[in-house]
């Protein structure tokens, strides 16, 4: 029996107290009870079923995008999540893989290698490029490595734009390497062991198989001497080196493996798109991959995949106004659930929001009947909202804009308040958000998409700063 006051007692305190609290606790405990194996196969099963649930090539194309993102995030996770190297040149490896595949499988140089040969070639070349571009990590860490590698990403795009007319002394005509701004079109479809991949669905399954294999490999690798070596070098490179870890070699290995996965993904991207263009590999993409990784939780394999699903699919879901509206109110509800505790308080606040809306609606209907005559556009949700949110017929734009400014002010005020005042202000703020949504945002899908996507990311990161599936970390005080 441990005595009170000894350190055993103190640390067992954590075991005695409940780790999860709040409404989601039972679900999280259940999630923990299911081991990684069943979780993996369940996920795989759902992904394998997805193409049979829809006939739309567009939906499957989104699925392909998700898979591409997931693979990219897994590769980046090695470099950033495990080895702790801030690599902003990562997208260059993806682009290099795509262009390399284009060179050996199109009419550009009239080379048409069989896919079984082209892919290993691309992966090897990408890994070698990774080794080369990883060299600065021997001397540079943190921000300095970041700006150096960002330069690589930028130079890659510049090169693809400009390497279409290279004058070589032994050639009469200039060499066209990248096709410049026009890129390289007409890339061969893949054919693996006699299996022609012609449909976007075929690529979906190819990507799913690769994703599964790579995820399992990385899962094993993470819990091995290599994985531990990476994480130890991230935590404290000097201590790792003095504990027999060849830190520099492991840094290069991380860069090479990340680059190999990115190159592989790039080659499949090139085949799916049957063309490569410089604008496919810009820094925006890099930021999205980072967003996926950080959102999911850097260092976590499942986190990287979940993050990729969110980042690649949410903007697509938001294209349809009805979906966007569901997501919007869903996100509002999620913010409430996450920020208001305990659940009794949450129930009171949720009830208050509903009552507040009904009262405001009745008041406005009584004072200014024209203020509620607008109809929220269609759908189940629209019908429900009709008697809750006010929607004027005239001056929607002006009122909506004013409300938007007010909403921003209210949101900023919320961040400064504590306790009951915050809870009370939360109620009209939510109502105001709904008003702004129905009057203005739903009319401007392209702007709203970005806004809502950003808001969802901010909300998720506020709720779980370590990422959805990440573990909280402490910084080394060195």
Partner 1 sequence: MGAPLLELRDVSKSFGGLAVIGRLDLTVAEREIVSVIGPNGAGKTTFFNLVTGIYRPDHGEILFDGKSIVGLEPHRIAQLGIARTFQTLRLFLNMTVKENVKAATYGNTKARFWQSALRTRAARREEREVDALAEERLAFFGKRLIGYRMEQPAYSLSYANRRRLEIARATGTSPRLLLLDEPAAGMNPAETHEITELIGRLRDEGGYTILVIEHDMHVVEGISDRVVALDHGEKIAEGSFEHVATDPRVVEAYLGARAAETGR
Contact residues: partner 1, CB under 8 A: 7-8, 10-12, 14-15, 217-218, 220-221, 223-229, 231-232, 235-236, 238-247, 253, 257, 471, 473-474, 476, 478
In the complex, what is the shortest distance from the CB of residue 232 to partner 1, in angstroms, rounded to a whole number? 4
In the complex, what is the shortest distance from the CB of residue 212 to partner 1, in angstroms, rounded to a whole number? 13
In the complex, what is the shortest distance from the CB of residue 475 to partner 1, in angstroms, rounded to a whole number? 8
Strand pairing partners for 175? 166
Asked if 365 contacts 442 with a C-beta cutoff of 8 angstroms, the reply is no
* C-alpha distance across the termini of the chain, in Å: 37
In the complex, what is the shortest distance from the CB of residue 164 to partner 1, in angstroms, rounded to a whole number? 38
Closest CB to partner 1 among residues 228, 422? 228
Separation CA 118–CA 60 (nearest Å): 25
Closest CB to partner 1 among residues 212, 314? 212
Q: How far is CA 245 from CA 56, 121, 229, 258, in A?
A: 51, 30, 6, 20
In the complex, what is the shortest distance from the CB of residue 447 to partner 1, in angstroms, rounded to a whole number? 40
Helix, strand, coil percentages, rounded to 5, for the chain: 75, 5, 25
Closest CB to partner 1 among residues 176, 302? 302
For residue 85, the SS3 value is coil
Closest CB to partner 1 among residues 294, 434? 294
5: left (phi over 0), alpha (psi -120 to 50) or beta: left
Closest CB to partner 1 among residues 25, 243? 243
Contacts of 473 (CB under 8 A, 6+ apart): 299, 466
Closest CB to partner 1 among residues 263, 428? 263
In the complex, what is the shortest distance from the CB of residue 3 to partner 1, in angstroms, rounded to a whole number? 13
Closest CB to partner 1 among residues 320, 471? 471
For residue 139, the SS3 value is coil
In the complex, what is the shortest distance from the CB of residue 193 to partner 1, in angstroms, rounded to a whole number? 21
Asked if 181 contacts 161 with a C-beta cutoff of 8 angstroms, the reply is yes
Alpha helices in 77-177 (DSSP H): 90-104, 115-134, 142-162
């Amino acid at each position: 029996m441990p005595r009170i006051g000894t350190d055993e007692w103190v640390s067992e305190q954590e075991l005695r107290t409940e780790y999860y609290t709040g409404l989601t606790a039972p679900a999280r405990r259940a999630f923990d009870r299911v081991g990684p194996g069943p979780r993996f196969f369940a996920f795989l099963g759902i992904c394998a079923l997805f193409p049979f649930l829809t006939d739309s090539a567009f939906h499957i194309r989104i699925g392909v995008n998700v898979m591409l993102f997931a693979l990219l995030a897994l590769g980046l996770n090695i470099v950033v999540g495990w080895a702790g190297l801030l690599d902003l040149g990562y997208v260059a490896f993806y682009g290099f893989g795509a262009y390399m595949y284009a060179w050996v499988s199109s009419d550009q140089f009239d080379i048409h290698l069989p896919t079984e040969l082209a892919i290993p070639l691309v992966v090897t070349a990408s890994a070698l490029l990774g080794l080369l571009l990883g060299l600065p990590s021997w001397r540079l860490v943190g921000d300095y490595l970041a700006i150096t590698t960002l330069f690589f990403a930028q130079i890659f795009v510049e090169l693809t734009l400009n390497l279409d007319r290279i004058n070589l002394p032994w050639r009469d005509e200039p060499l066209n390497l990248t096709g410049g701004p026009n890129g390289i079109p007409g890339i061969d479809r893949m054919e693996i062991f006699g299996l022609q991949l012609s449909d976007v669905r075929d690529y979906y399954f190819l990507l799913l198989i690769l994703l599964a294999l790579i995820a399992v490999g990385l899962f094993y690798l993470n819990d091995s001497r290599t994985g531990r070596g990476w994480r130890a070098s991230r935590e404290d490179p000097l201590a790792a080196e003095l504990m027999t870890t060849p830190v520099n070699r492991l840094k290069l290995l991380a860069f090479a493996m990340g680059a190999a996965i990115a190159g592989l993904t790039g080659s499949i991207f090139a085949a799916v798109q049957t063309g490569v263009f410089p604008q496919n590999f810009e820094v925006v993409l890099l930021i999205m991959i980072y967003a996926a990784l950080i959102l999911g939780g850097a260092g976590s394999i499942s986190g990287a995949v979940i993050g990729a699903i969110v980042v690649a699919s949410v903007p697509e879901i938001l294209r349809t106004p009805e979906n966007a509206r569901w997501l919007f109110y869903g996100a509002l509800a999620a913010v409430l659930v996450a920020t208001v505790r305990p659940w009794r308080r949450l129930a009171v606040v949720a009830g208050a929001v509903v009552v507040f809306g009904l009262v405001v609606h009745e008041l406005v209907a009584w004072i200014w009947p024209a203020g509620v005559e607008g109809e929220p556009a269609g759908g189940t949700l629209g019908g429900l909202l009709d008697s809750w949110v006010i929607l004027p017929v005239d001056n929607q734009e002006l009122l909506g804009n004013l409300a938007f400014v007010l909403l921003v002010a209210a949101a900023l005020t919320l961040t400064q308040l504590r306790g009951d005042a915050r809870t009370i202000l939360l109620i009209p703020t939510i109502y105001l958000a709904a008003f702004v949504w129905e009057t203005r945002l739903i009319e401007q899908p392209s702007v709203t998409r970005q806004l809502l996507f950003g808001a969802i990311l901010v909300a998720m990161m506020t709720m779980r700063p370590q990422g959805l599936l990440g573990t909280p970390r402490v910084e080394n005080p060195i």
